[in-house]
Amino acid sequence: MQELQSNSANFPFTRPRLRSARAIKLRKGAKLRYRVLPPAMPALRVPGTLNPVSKNLDEIDLKILSEIQADGRITNVELAKRVGISPPPCLRRVRTLEEEGYIQGYRGLLDPRKLGFDVTVFASVHLSSQADADLRAFEEFVRAEPLVRECWMLSGEVDFILKCVAPDMATFQNFVTHLTAAPHVRNVRTSLVLHNSKYDAAVPLELKTRG
């Protein structure tokens, strides 16, 4: 493990934000620093060639993933037709993509407002301790909270940002009271969502197609 440092000669940005899945925040005096596994450098793309995702994926696999991502209820026959292969090998490819973890599952996207969940709030959480055990404990805490729909660990002054969905503000305020009383939570700042301009729960596979 090595300390994360900015190197403008090697990276096209001045403040790297890439972190390993279990990055650990460490305090040294008044300064906050990070220790992470060195990130793998992205593969260079050669014009006119497929930008590599995995040595096991080809263009047909990417087409399959794109179609399934757009419509998780698509039949195998229709999927095979759209990607240009016959149904049996198409089904084998889908099963392989599932087994290798490229397809994590199939879900229906629900409208929270029609179901009575009118309040969406982002909560920025700053912990008093960045020890690995305390970070893990907080993650376990939010996993058990139904109002928390997403939890992301961040670099910088904010340790976690939570996306919360609630039926009303009173319910959310009760949750905030519970959240601020959680172990090692120093402070919580909340931002109420007023309007959503874009929501695309998908991977931009179009960036991995031929240029």
Q: In the chain, what percentage of residues exceed pLDDT 90?
A: 66
**Cβ-contact 80, 87 below 8 angstroms:** yes
pTM of the model: 0.69
**Sequence-separated contacts (24+) of 192-200 with Cβ below 8 Å:** 192/119, 192/120, 192/121, 193/120, 193/121, 193/122, 196/120
Query: pLDDT tens-digit profile of 72-94?
Result: 999 999 999 999 999 999 999 99
Q: In the chain, what percentage of residues exceed pLDDT 70?
A: 73
pLDDT band at 149 (very low <50, low <70, confident <90, very high): very high
**Cβ-contact 38, 2 below 8 angstroms:** yes
Mean pLDDT of 15-24: 42
48 vs 94, more confident:
94
Which domains are delineated in the chain?
2-36 (no CATH), 59-99 (1.10.10.10), 119-192 (3.30.70.920)
